[in-house]
Structure 1
Amino acid sequence: MAVLGAFLAALGVTDAIRDTSQGRVSPARRYTALAAGLVTLGALLAAGGVPVATGLSVGVPLAVLLAIWAHDGAIARAIGETPGLAIAFSAVSLGIVVALLFGDPVHTAWPSWVPGPLSEIPVSRVILVGGIALFQVATANLLVRLILEAVNVPSKEGSARLRSGRVLGPMERLFIVGLGLAGNLTAAAVVVGAKGLLRFPELAASESRGSSGPPPIIIQAAGAEASEKGADTELPTAPVDHGPNPVTEYFLIGSFASWLLALGGLGLAMLVWE
Structure 2
Amino acid sequence: MSWIALLLIGVAVADLAHSVWPVRVVPECVGAIAAVLVGLLAGLTSGVDVAALVVIAAVVVAWGQTVTRGFGGRGPVWVPLLLLGVALAVAIGVSGEASPAGGWVGRWLDGAALPVVSSLTADRALLLLGAFLVQMSTGNVLVRLVLAATGTVNPARHGRPDDPEMQLKGGRLLGPMERVFLLSLGLAGHVTAASIVVAAKGLLRFPELSSRRDQERIHQLTEYFLVGSFVSWMVALVSLVLLAR
TM-score, structure 1 normalization: 0.77
* Most deviating of 92-101 and 259-268: 92-101
Alpha carbon RMSD of aligned pairs, Å?
2.2
Q: Which residue of 2 aligns with 1:262?
A: 236
Which residue identity is paired with 1:253?
V
Deviation readout 1:208-257 (Å, 9 max, x if unpaired): x113xxxxxxxxxxxxxxxxxxxxxxxxxxxxxx5962111101111111
Contact map agreement 2:49 2:99 (CA 8 A) in 1? no
* Most deviating of 132-141 and 49-58: 49-58
Cα offset for 1:51? 3.7
* Most deviating of 30-39 and 194-203: 30-39
Cα offset for 1:54? 2.5
Q: 2:90 aligns with which of 95, 98, 101?
A: 98
CA distance in 2, matches of 1:189, 1:3: 31
1:170 is aligned to 2:176 = yes
1:57 is aligned to 2:31 = no
Percent of aligned positions that are identical: 31
User: What is the correspondence of 1:56-75 to structure 2 with a 5 Å cutoff?
Assistant: 56-72=50-66, 73-75=68-70
Q: Which residue of 1 aligns with 2:201?
A: 195
Contact map agreement 1:66 1:91 (CA 8 A) in 2? no
Q: Which one has a bigger Cα radius of gyration?
A: 1
1:88 is aligned to 2:80 = yes
Contact map agreement 2:12 2:130 (CA 8 A) in 1? yes
TM-score, structure 2 normalization: 0.85
Deviation readout 1:24-69 (Å, 9 max, x if unpaired): x96xx13221221112101221233324213222122222111111
Q: 1:246 to 1:61 in 2, by over 3 A?
A: same
Q: Which residue of 1 aligns with 2:37?
A: 43
Q: Which residue of 2 aligns with 1:246?
A: 220
Cα offset for 1:184? 1.4
Q: Which residue of 2 aligns with 1:77?
A: 72
Deviation readout 1:106-158 (Å, 9 max, x if unpaired): 15232464334122211111111110111111111011011111111116422
Q: 1:181 aligns with which of 182, 187, 191?
A: 187
Contact map agreement 1:140 1:261 (CA 8 A) in 2? yes
User: What is the correspondence of 1:8-47 to structure 2 with a 5 Å cutoff?
Assistant: 8-19=8-19, 29-47=23-41
Q: 1:259 to 1:34 in 2, by over 3 A?
A: same
Contact map agreement 2:9 2:134 (CA 8 A) in 1? yes
Q: Which residue of 2 aligns with 1:110?
A: 107
* Most deviating of 68-77 and 185-194: 68-77
Which residue identity is paired with 1:114?
A
1:210 is aligned to 2:214 = yes
Which residue identity is paired with 1:130?
L
Contact map agreement 2:139 2:232 (CA 8 A) in 1? yes
CA distance in 1, matches of 2:87, 2:2: 13
Q: 1:16 to 1:263 in 2, by over 3 A?
A: same
> Secondary structure, in 3 states, of the residue corresponding to 2:113?
coil
CA distance in 1, matches of 2:129, 2:222: 33
Contact map agreement 2:2 2:101 (CA 8 A) in 1? no
CA distance in 2, matches of 1:64, 1:169: 28
Q: Which residue of 2 aligns with 1:236?
A: none
